[in-house]
Amino acid sequence: MSIIHKYLTSEISRYLGIVLTAVVGIYLAVDFFEKIDDFIEAGLPFSKAFIFFIFKVPYIIAQTLPICILLSVLIVLGLMTRNHEIVALKSSGVSIYYLFKPILVSGFLLGILLFFVSEVIVPVTMAKANRIWLKEVRNDPTVVSREKNIWIKGNRSITHIKYYNSSNKTIFGITRSTFDKNFRLIRKIDARKGVFKEGEWILHELIEQNFSKEEGRNNVIFHKNRAEILDFLPEDLKRVMKISEEMSFKDLLEFTRKVESEGYDAAMYRVDLYAKIAFPFVCIIMCLVGTGIAVRGKTKDGLPVSIAYGIGIAFLYWIFYSFCLSLGYGGMLHPIIAAWTSNLVFFCLGMLTLLNAE
């Protein structure tokens, strides 16, 4: 490795540590002031809140690492541009592509690190953090299970849901049992699916059974469509469902296949599955974009302007990435296309920026 490459690698690593520490600290501070009141109301000690936020650190790092490497590249190359080091290197016959090599390697290694953190560490820590938040802070006694099958305990009722699709607010395989004050079964309903519309649940292909103790028999009624008052809202189901961040790639793949094998729509999980592979590549893209923006500066005020451009591009990437995923969740884009479109678009943008800078 040449002296120039060693210098760039060490400087980018140093500023990456500084920027990452600052970004994670700001994220934790905002999250702390937003949630600390809930911990106090729940009567939990500060140590429990501290553990909760520590468990969230790997997830925060995984989400903010791409923008941190972008800012690090912009700062290092921006300082070199301000000090006329880039001009001196170009005058010596050093091309931008030569300077980009160690940055590309750094982005590739950080992409591998990001995939490792997201695959191995984040599922474990996020599961523990969500368990603390739901069970101890929110003290939600209604949820018995957070797997694909959901059990919800209501007021003298128990509801079982086989699958919930949050993209269209639809539940499948509903069984609801209602009991009297002596916990005797008085009513049971089974429905193929339910859709939340205009503030109420509409159940389809519903079978209603009413049990009469005096007559010793039960009445069975079939309803094609019927509105039912249930003890939960879509927001409650979305909160208790096991989310993709709590699963590794292997677990998410098995979960998706299991959902699809039972005949349910698993588009949102399929999108998250491909996104687990696509998202780490954003580290390389941010390195590409950052290099192209930073080396084109020619004035002393180029550094703050370059950083502003970089933050703007990172913001646009995140909006476009989320938009594509939303289209995939809704079935408007194929899961692979939804996960990779933003990477392809911004890779082309980064290449164009780098070519113009050279």
Q: What is the DSSP string of 163-213?
A: EEETTTTEEEEEEEEEE-TT--EEEEEEEEEEEEETTEEEEEEEEEEEEET
Q: How many domains does the chain have?
A: 2
133 and 278 part of one domain? yes
Q: What is the pTM of this model?
A: 0.77
Interatomic CA distance for residues 163 and 193, integer angstroms: 9
Give the model's pLDDT for residue 144: 47
The pLDDT of 198-215, averaged and rounded, is 82
307 and 346 part of one domain? yes
Residue 187 lies in a domain: yes
pLDDT digits (tens, 9 = 90+) for 33-44: 998 888 888 888
Contacts of 357 (CB under 8 A, 6+ apart): 96, 291, 292, 293, 295, 296
Give me the percent of the chain exceeding a pLDDT of 70. Answer: 91
Residue 244 lies in a domain: no
Among 174, 207, 239, give the residue marking a domain's end: 239
Provide φ and ψ at 213, rounded to 5°.
Answer: -70, -40
223 and 114 part of one domain? no
Among 239, 270, 285, give the residue marking a domain's end: 239
Please choose, from the candidates 291, 310, 299, the residue with its C-alpha nearest in 3D space to the C-alpha of residue 19: 310
Residue 247 lies in a domain: no
Among 239, 269, 300, give the residue marking a domain's end: 239
38 and 156 part of one domain? no
Distance of CA 90 to the CA centre of its chain: 42
Residue 173 lies in a domain: yes
pLDDT digits (tens, 9 = 90+) for 273-322: 999 999 999 999 999 988 888 877 554 556 778 788 888 888 999 999 99
Residue 246 lies in a domain: no
21 and 123 part of one domain? yes
Residue 126 lies in a domain: yes
267 and 163 part of one domain? no
Give the model's pLDDT for residue 217: 63
Question: Residue 29: which pLDDT band, with cuts at 50, 70 and 90?
Answer: very high
Give the model's pLDDT for residue 244: 72
pLDDT digits (tens, 9 = 90+) for 326-341: 999 888 899 999 999 9
Q: What is the DSSP letter of 296?
A: T
44 and 192 part of one domain? no
Give the model's pLDDT for residue 310: 84
Which helix (H) or strand (E) element contains residue 152? Answer: strand 150-154
94 and 182 part of one domain? no
Give the model's pLDDT for residue 214: 60
Which helix (H) or strand (E) element contains residue 216? Answer: none
* Whether pLDDT at 200 is above 90: no
Residue 252 lies in a domain: no
126 and 154 part of one domain? no
pLDDT digits (tens, 9 = 90+) for 129-187: 888 887 788 766 455 444 557 777 777 888 888 888 877 788 888 898 888 887 888 88
7 and 31 part of one domain? yes
24 and 121 part of one domain? yes
Residue 289 lies in a domain: yes
Task: Supply the range of the domain harboring residue 208.
Answer: 150-239
Q: Which of 42-51, 55-64, 234-243, 258-267 has the lowest mean pLDDT?
A: 234-243
10 and 114 part of one domain? yes
